[in-house]
Structure 1
Amino acid sequence: MEIWVDADACPAQVKDILFRAAQRTQSRVTLVANAFLRTPPSPHIRALQVPSGPDAADRRIAEGVQPGDLVITADIPLASDVLARGGAALDPRGGWFTNDTIRERLAMRSMLDELRGAGVATGGPAPFSARDGRAFAAQLDGFLARAKRSIQPG
Protein backbone atom coordinates (compact mmCIF):
# COMPACT_ATOMS: atom_id res chain seq x y z
CA MET A 1 0.00 0.00 0.00
CA GLU A 2 1.32 3.38 -1.01
CA ILE A 3 0.09 6.86 -0.19
CA TRP A 4 0.19 9.22 -3.17
CA VAL A 5 -0.07 12.97 -2.61
CA ASP A 6 -1.25 15.50 -5.17
CA ALA A 7 1.25 17.89 -3.63
CA ASP A 8 1.00 21.08 -5.71
CA ALA A 9 -1.89 22.47 -3.65
CA CYS A 10 -1.64 20.24 -0.58
CA PRO A 11 -1.53 22.27 2.65
CA ALA A 12 1.79 22.15 4.54
CA GLN A 13 -0.02 20.92 7.68
CA VAL A 14 -1.30 17.88 5.75
CA LYS A 15 2.18 17.13 4.41
CA ASP A 16 3.56 17.27 7.97
CA ILE A 17 0.87 14.84 9.15
CA LEU A 18 1.76 12.51 6.28
CA PHE A 19 5.49 12.71 7.02
CA ARG A 20 4.89 11.75 10.66
CA ALA A 21 2.54 8.92 9.64
CA ALA A 22 5.09 7.56 7.16
CA GLN A 23 7.71 7.34 9.89
CA ARG A 24 5.34 5.94 12.51
CA THR A 25 3.78 3.26 10.29
CA GLN A 26 6.66 2.77 7.85
CA SER A 27 4.24 3.50 5.01
CA ARG A 28 5.52 4.71 1.67
CA VAL A 29 4.44 8.28 0.88
CA THR A 30 5.03 9.69 -2.60
CA LEU A 31 4.48 13.39 -3.22
CA VAL A 32 3.95 14.40 -6.85
CA ALA A 33 4.22 18.04 -7.94
CA ASN A 34 5.24 20.35 -10.77
CA ALA A 35 7.76 22.09 -8.52
CA PHE A 36 10.65 20.92 -6.36
CA LEU A 37 9.50 19.70 -2.95
CA ARG A 38 11.49 19.54 0.25
CA THR A 39 10.91 16.36 2.19
CA PRO A 40 12.46 15.06 5.38
CA PRO A 41 15.15 12.42 4.93
CA SER A 42 13.38 9.09 5.16
CA PRO A 43 13.38 5.80 3.31
CA HIS A 44 9.57 5.99 3.40
CA ILE A 45 9.12 9.39 1.74
CA ARG A 46 9.87 10.37 -1.84
CA ALA A 47 9.08 13.35 -4.02
CA LEU A 48 8.52 13.17 -7.77
CA GLN A 49 8.74 16.32 -9.83
CA VAL A 50 6.78 16.18 -13.08
CA PRO A 51 6.99 18.62 -15.99
CA SER A 52 4.78 21.67 -15.62
CA GLY A 53 1.54 21.54 -17.52
CA PRO A 54 -2.11 20.96 -16.94
CA ASP A 55 -2.79 17.83 -14.92
CA ALA A 56 0.75 16.42 -15.26
CA ALA A 57 0.89 15.50 -11.57
CA ASP A 58 -2.61 14.03 -11.72
CA ARG A 59 -1.68 11.84 -14.71
CA ARG A 60 1.46 10.58 -12.95
CA ILE A 61 -0.51 9.65 -9.85
CA ALA A 62 -3.26 7.94 -11.87
CA GLU A 63 -0.62 5.92 -13.76
CA GLY A 64 1.05 4.76 -10.54
CA VAL A 65 -1.87 4.05 -8.24
CA GLN A 66 -2.64 0.41 -7.49
CA PRO A 67 -5.69 -1.18 -5.86
CA GLY A 68 -5.53 -0.51 -2.12
CA ASP A 69 -3.40 2.63 -2.46
CA LEU A 70 -4.50 5.92 -0.92
CA VAL A 71 -4.42 9.23 -2.81
CA ILE A 72 -4.57 12.58 -1.05
CA THR A 73 -6.15 15.13 -3.39
CA ALA A 74 -8.78 17.83 -3.66
CA ASP A 75 -8.99 17.22 -7.42
CA ILE A 76 -12.32 15.57 -8.22
CA PRO A 77 -11.40 14.13 -11.66
CA LEU A 78 -8.23 12.61 -10.18
CA ALA A 79 -10.26 11.13 -7.31
CA SER A 80 -12.63 9.61 -9.88
CA ASP A 81 -9.68 7.99 -11.72
CA VAL A 82 -8.29 6.66 -8.43
CA LEU A 83 -11.61 5.09 -7.46
CA ALA A 84 -11.91 3.49 -10.91
CA ARG A 85 -8.46 1.92 -10.40
CA GLY A 86 -9.40 0.44 -7.00
CA GLY A 87 -7.67 3.04 -4.84
CA ALA A 88 -9.06 5.21 -2.08
CA ALA A 89 -9.18 9.02 -2.28
CA LEU A 90 -9.16 11.39 0.69
CA ASP A 91 -9.27 15.16 0.43
CA PRO A 92 -6.94 17.26 2.61
CA ARG A 93 -9.86 18.31 4.81
CA GLY A 94 -10.63 14.71 5.79
CA GLY A 95 -13.49 13.97 3.38
CA TRP A 96 -13.62 10.70 1.49
CA PHE A 97 -14.42 10.48 -2.20
CA THR A 98 -16.63 7.44 -2.78
CA ASN A 99 -18.19 5.66 -5.72
CA ASP A 100 -21.58 6.78 -4.38
CA THR A 101 -20.70 10.50 -4.40
CA ILE A 102 -18.15 10.98 -7.18
CA ARG A 103 -20.65 11.49 -10.03
CA GLU A 104 -22.45 14.19 -8.04
CA ARG A 105 -19.17 15.92 -7.23
CA LEU A 106 -18.09 15.80 -10.89
CA ALA A 107 -21.45 17.30 -11.96
CA MET A 108 -21.18 20.08 -9.36
CA ARG A 109 -17.62 20.85 -10.49
CA SER A 110 -18.79 21.06 -14.11
CA MET A 111 -21.66 23.37 -13.20
CA LEU A 112 -19.37 25.69 -11.22
CA ASP A 113 -16.90 25.75 -14.14
CA GLU A 114 -19.75 26.81 -16.45
CA LEU A 115 -20.83 29.54 -14.04
CA ARG A 116 -17.28 30.86 -13.75
CA GLY A 117 -17.00 30.77 -17.55
CA ALA A 118 -20.12 32.94 -17.72
CA GLY A 119 -18.56 35.47 -15.34
CA VAL A 120 -20.40 34.47 -12.17
CA ALA A 121 -18.26 34.72 -9.03
CA THR A 122 -18.63 31.37 -7.29
CA GLY A 123 -16.12 31.91 -4.48
CA GLY A 124 -13.58 29.38 -3.40
CA PRO A 125 -13.02 27.02 -0.53
CA ALA A 126 -12.72 28.36 2.99
CA PRO A 127 -9.17 28.76 4.30
CA PHE A 128 -7.62 25.55 5.64
CA SER A 129 -8.13 25.41 9.41
CA ALA A 130 -6.71 23.51 12.36
CA ARG A 131 -10.03 21.66 12.50
CA ASP A 132 -9.51 20.53 8.89
CA GLY A 133 -6.06 19.24 9.85
CA ARG A 134 -7.47 17.27 12.78
CA ALA A 135 -10.23 15.79 10.59
CA PHE A 136 -7.64 14.75 8.00
CA ALA A 137 -5.36 13.19 10.63
CA ALA A 138 -8.23 11.20 12.13
CA GLN A 139 -9.30 9.81 8.74
CA LEU A 140 -5.72 8.99 7.76
CA ASP A 141 -5.07 7.19 11.07
CA GLY A 142 -8.25 5.15 10.62
CA PHE A 143 -7.27 4.17 7.09
CA LEU A 144 -3.75 3.17 8.14
CA ALA A 145 -5.08 1.11 11.08
CA ARG A 146 -7.49 -0.74 8.76
CA ALA A 147 -4.72 -1.32 6.22
CA LYS A 148 -2.39 -2.69 8.90
CA ARG A 149 -5.07 -5.10 10.18
CA SER A 150 -5.79 -6.35 6.66
CA ILE A 151 -2.15 -7.27 5.96
CA GLN A 152 -1.34 -8.95 9.28
CA PRO A 153 -1.34 -12.75 9.13
CA GLY A 154 -3.94 -14.83 10.91
Structure 2
Amino acid sequence: MSLYIDADACPVKEECVRVADRLGVRVLIVCNGGIRPSDHPLVETVFVTEGPDEADKWIAERAGKGDVVVTSDIPLAAKCVAAGARVVKPNGETLTEANIGNALATRDLMADLRAADPFRQGGGRAFTKQDRSRFLDALDRLMRAAAR
Protein backbone atom coordinates (compact mmCIF):
# COMPACT_ATOMS: atom_id res chain seq x y z
CA MET A 1 0.00 0.00 0.00
CA SER A 2 1.13 3.53 -0.79
CA LEU A 3 -0.35 6.93 0.00
CA TYR A 4 -0.29 9.27 -2.99
CA ILE A 5 -0.70 13.01 -2.38
CA ASP A 6 -1.63 15.39 -5.19
CA ALA A 7 0.45 18.00 -3.42
CA ASP A 8 0.56 21.26 -5.36
CA ALA A 9 -2.41 22.80 -3.53
CA CYS A 10 -2.90 20.25 -0.75
CA PRO A 11 -3.43 21.78 2.71
CA VAL A 12 -3.04 18.46 4.59
CA LYS A 13 0.41 17.15 3.61
CA GLU A 14 1.68 17.14 7.20
CA GLU A 15 -1.41 15.27 8.40
CA CYS A 16 -0.88 12.65 5.69
CA VAL A 17 2.68 12.05 6.83
CA ARG A 18 1.60 11.76 10.48
CA VAL A 19 -1.04 9.11 9.71
CA ALA A 20 1.24 7.22 7.32
CA ASP A 21 4.07 7.24 9.86
CA ARG A 22 1.80 5.79 12.54
CA LEU A 23 0.75 2.99 10.16
CA GLY A 24 4.17 2.48 8.52
CA VAL A 25 2.94 3.35 5.01
CA ARG A 26 5.04 4.77 2.16
CA VAL A 27 4.04 8.32 1.10
CA LEU A 28 4.53 9.76 -2.39
CA ILE A 29 4.15 13.54 -2.50
CA VAL A 30 3.69 14.40 -6.17
CA CYS A 31 4.06 18.00 -7.38
CA ASN A 32 5.35 20.32 -10.10
CA GLY A 33 7.80 21.94 -7.70
CA GLY A 34 7.86 24.55 -4.99
CA ILE A 35 7.69 22.00 -2.18
CA ARG A 36 10.61 21.28 0.10
CA PRO A 37 11.45 17.55 0.05
CA SER A 38 10.92 15.71 3.31
CA ASP A 39 13.72 13.90 5.10
CA HIS A 40 11.23 11.41 6.59
CA PRO A 41 12.26 7.85 5.63
CA LEU A 42 8.73 6.89 4.48
CA VAL A 43 8.26 10.00 2.32
CA GLU A 44 9.34 10.34 -1.29
CA THR A 45 8.82 13.67 -3.04
CA VAL A 46 8.24 13.25 -6.76
CA PHE A 47 8.76 16.29 -8.97
CA VAL A 48 7.05 15.93 -12.33
CA THR A 49 7.68 18.07 -15.40
CA GLU A 50 5.84 21.37 -15.51
CA GLY A 51 2.59 21.39 -17.37
CA PRO A 52 -1.09 20.98 -16.77
CA ASP A 53 -2.10 17.78 -15.03
CA GLU A 54 1.38 16.19 -15.06
CA ALA A 55 1.16 15.31 -11.36
CA ASP A 56 -2.34 13.91 -11.95
CA LYS A 57 -1.11 11.76 -14.83
CA TRP A 58 1.79 10.43 -12.74
CA ILE A 59 -0.52 9.43 -9.89
CA ALA A 60 -3.21 7.97 -12.18
CA GLU A 61 -0.63 5.73 -13.89
CA ARG A 62 0.51 4.25 -10.57
CA ALA A 63 -2.30 4.27 -7.99
CA GLY A 64 -4.33 1.09 -7.80
CA LYS A 65 -5.94 -1.49 -5.58
CA GLY A 66 -4.79 -1.13 -1.98
CA ASP A 67 -3.52 2.43 -2.42
CA VAL A 68 -4.96 5.64 -0.98
CA VAL A 69 -4.97 8.93 -2.90
CA VAL A 70 -5.44 12.42 -1.45
CA THR A 71 -6.70 14.89 -4.05
CA SER A 72 -9.24 17.62 -4.72
CA ASP A 73 -9.04 16.94 -8.46
CA ILE A 74 -12.24 15.13 -9.42
CA PRO A 75 -11.06 13.74 -12.81
CA LEU A 76 -7.95 12.33 -11.10
CA ALA A 77 -10.14 10.89 -8.34
CA ALA A 78 -12.34 9.20 -10.96
CA LYS A 79 -9.32 7.53 -12.59
CA CYS A 80 -8.00 6.36 -9.22
CA VAL A 81 -11.39 5.00 -8.11
CA ALA A 82 -11.67 3.13 -11.44
CA ALA A 83 -8.22 1.63 -10.79
CA GLY A 84 -9.34 0.38 -7.37
CA ALA A 85 -7.67 2.99 -5.16
CA ARG A 86 -9.40 4.65 -2.23
CA VAL A 87 -9.72 8.43 -2.57
CA VAL A 88 -10.20 11.17 -0.01
CA LYS A 89 -10.41 14.92 -0.51
CA PRO A 90 -8.58 17.25 1.91
CA ASN A 91 -11.92 18.15 3.53
CA GLY A 92 -12.47 14.50 4.51
CA GLU A 93 -14.99 13.63 1.79
CA THR A 94 -14.36 10.16 0.40
CA LEU A 95 -14.94 9.49 -3.28
CA THR A 96 -16.12 6.02 -4.26
CA GLU A 97 -17.71 4.21 -7.18
CA ALA A 98 -21.07 5.15 -5.67
CA ASN A 99 -20.51 8.94 -5.71
CA ILE A 100 -17.76 9.72 -8.23
CA GLY A 101 -20.22 10.07 -11.14
CA ASN A 102 -22.20 12.67 -9.23
CA ALA A 103 -18.99 14.50 -8.29
CA LEU A 104 -17.91 14.62 -11.96
CA ALA A 105 -21.33 15.89 -13.05
CA THR A 106 -21.32 18.61 -10.39
CA ARG A 107 -17.81 19.66 -11.38
CA ASP A 108 -18.82 19.93 -15.03
CA LEU A 109 -21.97 21.89 -14.16
CA MET A 110 -20.00 24.37 -12.06
CA ALA A 111 -17.44 24.79 -14.85
CA ASP A 112 -20.28 25.59 -17.27
CA LEU A 113 -21.78 28.11 -14.84
CA ARG A 114 -18.43 29.85 -14.38
CA ALA A 115 -17.92 29.98 -18.14
CA ALA A 116 -21.40 31.46 -18.66
CA ASP A 117 -20.78 34.32 -16.21
CA PRO A 118 -17.25 35.71 -16.56
CA PHE A 119 -17.96 38.29 -13.84
CA ARG A 120 -18.89 35.70 -11.24
CA GLN A 121 -16.90 36.41 -8.09
CA GLY A 122 -15.83 34.15 -5.28
CA GLY A 123 -14.91 30.54 -5.06
CA GLY A 124 -15.12 27.75 -2.59
CA ARG A 125 -15.35 28.20 1.12
CA ALA A 126 -12.30 28.50 3.36
CA PHE A 127 -10.55 25.39 4.70
CA THR A 128 -11.49 24.98 8.39
CA LYS A 129 -10.28 23.13 11.48
CA GLN A 130 -13.37 20.92 11.12
CA ASP A 131 -12.29 20.02 7.56
CA ARG A 132 -8.84 19.08 8.86
CA SER A 133 -10.37 16.95 11.64
CA ARG A 134 -12.75 15.20 9.18
CA PHE A 135 -9.81 14.57 6.87
CA LEU A 136 -7.69 12.96 9.59
CA ASP A 137 -10.54 10.68 10.60
CA ALA A 138 -11.36 9.72 6.99
CA LEU A 139 -7.71 9.13 6.04
CA ASP A 140 -7.11 6.93 9.08
CA ARG A 141 -10.23 4.84 8.30
CA LEU A 142 -9.35 4.48 4.58
CA MET A 143 -5.75 3.50 5.25
CA ARG A 144 -6.74 0.92 7.86
CA ALA A 145 -9.36 -0.51 5.47
CA ALA A 146 -6.86 -0.62 2.59
CA ALA A 147 -4.36 -2.47 4.80
CA ARG A 148 -6.82 -5.31 5.43
Indicate the TM-score class for this superposition, using the shorter chain for normalisation: over 0.9
Alignment of 1:33-44 (within 5 A): 33-44=31-42
Gaps of 5+ in 2: none
The match for 2:25 is 27
Calculate the TM-score normalised by the size of structure 1. 0.89
Aligned residue identity for 2:53 = D
Cα contact 1:8–1:32 (8 A) shared by 2: yes
The match for 1:125 is 124
Moved more, 99-108 or 68-77: 99-108
Q: Are 1:64 and 2:66 an aligned pair?
A: no
Partner-residue secondary structure (3-state), 2:8? helix
The match for 1:76 is 74
* Offset at residue 102 of structure 1 (A): 1.1
Gaps of 5+ in 1: none
The match for 1:134 is 133
Q: C-alpha deviations, 1:71-114, integer Å up to 9, x for none? A: 00011000000011011110000000111111111111111111
The match for 1:2 is 2
Identity of aligned residues (%): 38
* Offset at residue 50 of structure 1 (A): 0.8
Whole-Å Cα distance in 1 between the matches of residues 35 and 17 of structure 2? 13
Partner-residue secondary structure (3-state), 1:8? coil
Aligned residue identity for 1:77 = P
Q: Relative contact order, CA 8 A, sep 6+: which one is greater? A: 2
Give the aligned length: 147
Cα contact 1:22–1:45 (8 A) shared by 2: no
* Offset at residue 144 of structure 1 (A): 2.5
Partner-residue secondary structure (3-state), 1:4? strand
Cα contact 2:86–2:146 (8 A) shared by 1: no
Calculate the TM-score normalised by the size of structure 2. 0.92
Whole-Å Cα distance in 2 between the matches of residues 108 and 144 of structure 1? 27
Q: C-alpha deviations, 1:19-71, integer Å up to 9, x for none? A: 11222211011011111422431221011011111111100000111211100
Alignment of 1:73-112 (within 5 A): 73-112=71-110
After superposition, the Cα gap between the structure-2 partners of 1:104 and 1:114, relative to the gap in structure 1 and judged at 3 Å, is same
Whole-Å Cα distance in 2 between the matches of residues 147 and 118 of structure 1? 41
